[in-house]
Amino acid sequence: PKRYQYGIKFVVDTQNDKAVFGRIKEIQDNIKEWVENGHSLVLISPTKGNGKTSIACKLAHDYIKSILDTTILDPAVYFINVPQFLEELRPNGMDRDMLDSVMRRIREVPLLIMDDIGAEKPSDWVRERLYSIINDRYSDMKSTIYTTNSTVQDMNINLQERIVSRMMCDEVLVLDGTSKR
């Protein structure tokens, strides 16, 4: 998104999230290897606006910078706002060729950001789409950063445990800081 294209900085809530930001800094310092090794990260916070998407995008920027001298022009990062993306996937939202291209990119891109997962209206159709994406990336050891305001319990109910267990298999960081918007 345009808001996150340039000049992203981490805003640390030193009272609430100092340890979380310490771990994020470790990931940032080793982002190329972190992505190449297929690690994933879930950023959870009940507070809206406290930096989850900014953190995800900053890590994506750092990853792109780390591979600029060694990569061809293939996409390195793909960002999707999950509720918006699912709406575009619905029948008549995207032609078949475009859908195939987007789904291939989502499966193959080294780093995928799935922003606001859990904000979509749960249904069998939604669960099937998300399972397909998340399971493919999990099975192929592709790095994914998830951001959510939902609790793990709510996601287990709305998305189902088989999806959530694949999301949560690597690293989960909970941000408790206040909104920065």
In total, the chain counts a number of residues equal to 181
Cα 86 to Cα 90, 94, 113, 127, 157: the distances in Å are 6, 11, 14, 10, 19
Report the alpha-carbon distance of residue 159 to residue 31 in Å, rounded. Answer: 28
Model confidence band, residue 32 (pLDDT cutoffs 50, 70, 90): very high
Mean of per-residue pLDDT scores for the chain: 86
Bridge partners, residue 143, by sequence: 111
Q: Which pLDDT score, from 0 to 100, does residue 10 have? A: 60
Bridge partners, residue 79, by sequence: 113
- Tell me: the pLDDT tens digits for 102-159? 888 899 999 999 999 999 988 998 999 999 999 999 999 999 999 999 999 999 999 9
Which among 104, 111, 113 has a CA at the least distance from the CA of 34?
A: 111
Question: What SS3 state is found at 118?
Answer: coil
